[in-house]
């Protein structure tokens, strides 16, 4: 069974409070975008995992795909599978690629083996693998709260725009970024800001709290955001805790990829 897990971008990311469990309460809007990995599995005599493309920074036992399979195997007595991941999504980029791979695998194992797991239960399983994972179960624009696992559908129409994603090859440690951030819950809710403002106004009011600390240490990431605006983006931001930066552009025939010397992808909302 072959499928194509896609990335997400964060439009706004407010860090609200530090929690007693070591996590943070946030609010953000997550949007699925068409940059994808490819993941395939078949029945096999024994479990195996292999990968190609971008080199993974964890061994197969610690890969989220392996953990997702082992999670369902333990509960539903799955047979062995052979799995291959072709990695095209940059890792450590704030794009949720690993989370997407795991969540898509949960969904497709459910369908292939007819496990009849509800979306709610799939989200609960996904949440044990990572904060971003539940989003990819329904894979539609959603406001995310809590540590990112509490989701609320949100209607946003970006079909008239295209997305440019640039990744400078820098791995930003998420735990470090959270540790050095300053939570602030005393501000207007992101849902209200998004609901009452056109995308052309987002530049001045929709922010990613991670940018302050990340840009201070990695100015080349800020340079990517500046370049997006210089090229005519109507809105640009770092996604997640970085280091990927995206720009939202009016739909046109211009190929913006030639302006970047790092990894760059150009496409549409998923």
Active site residues: 8, 132
Task: Tell me whether the omega of the peptide bond preceding residue 243 falls within 30 degrees of 0, making it cis.
Answer: yes
What number of other Cβ atoms are within 10 A of residue 259's Cβ? Answer: 14
Tokens of 187: 């501000």
DSSP collapsed to 3 states, 150-186: EEEECCCCCCCEEEEEEECCCCCCHHHHHHCCCCCCC
Q: Tokens for 92?
A: 């450590």
The CA-atom distances, in angstroms, between 41 and each of 3, 51, 181, 205 are: 9, 12, 40, 44
Cβ-count burial of 40 within 10 angstroms (0-12 exposed, 13-18 middle, 19+ buried)? middle
Q: H or E stretch including 27?
A: strand 24-36
Token output for 260: 């970047």
Q: Where are the beta strands (DSSP E) in 121-268?
A: 142-145, 150-153, 161-167, 235-238, 245-250, 263-267
DSSP 269: B
Q: Could you tell me the two tokens for 255?
A: 């190929």
């Amino acid at each position: 069974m072959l499928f194509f897990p896609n990335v997400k971008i964060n439009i706004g990311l407010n860090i609200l409070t530090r929690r007693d469990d070591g996590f943070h309460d946030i609010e953000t809007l997550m949007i699925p975008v068409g940059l994808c990995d490819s993941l395939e599995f078949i029945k096999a005599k024994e479990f195996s995992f292999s990968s190609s493309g971008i080199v993974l920074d964890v061994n197969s036992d610690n890969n989220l795909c392996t953990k997702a399979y082992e999670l369902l195997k333990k509960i539903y007595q799955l047979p062995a599978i052979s799995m291959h991941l072709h990695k095209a999504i940059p890792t450590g980029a704030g794009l949720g690629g690993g989370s997407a791979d795991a969540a898509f695998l949960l969904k497709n194992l459910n369908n292939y083996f007819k496990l009849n797991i509800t979306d709610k239960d799939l989200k609960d399983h996904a949440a044990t693998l990572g904060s971003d994972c539940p989003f990819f179960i329904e894979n539609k624009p959603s406001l995310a709260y809590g540590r990112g696992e509490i989701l609320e559908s949100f209607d946003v129409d970006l079909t008239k725009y295209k997305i440019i994603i640039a990744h400078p090859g820098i791995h930003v440690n998420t735990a470090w970024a959270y540790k050095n951030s300053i939570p602030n819950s005393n501000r207007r809710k992101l849902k209200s800001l998004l609901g009452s403002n056109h995308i052309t106004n987002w530049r001045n009011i929709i922010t990613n709290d991670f940018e302050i600390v990340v840009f201070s240490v990695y100015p080349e990431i800020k340079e990517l955001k500046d370049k997006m605006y210089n090229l005519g983006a109507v809105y640009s931001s770092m996604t997640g805790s970085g280091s990927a930066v995206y720009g939202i552009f009016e739909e046109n025939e211009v190929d913006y990829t030639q302006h970047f010397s790092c990894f760059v992808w150009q496409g549409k909302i998923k």
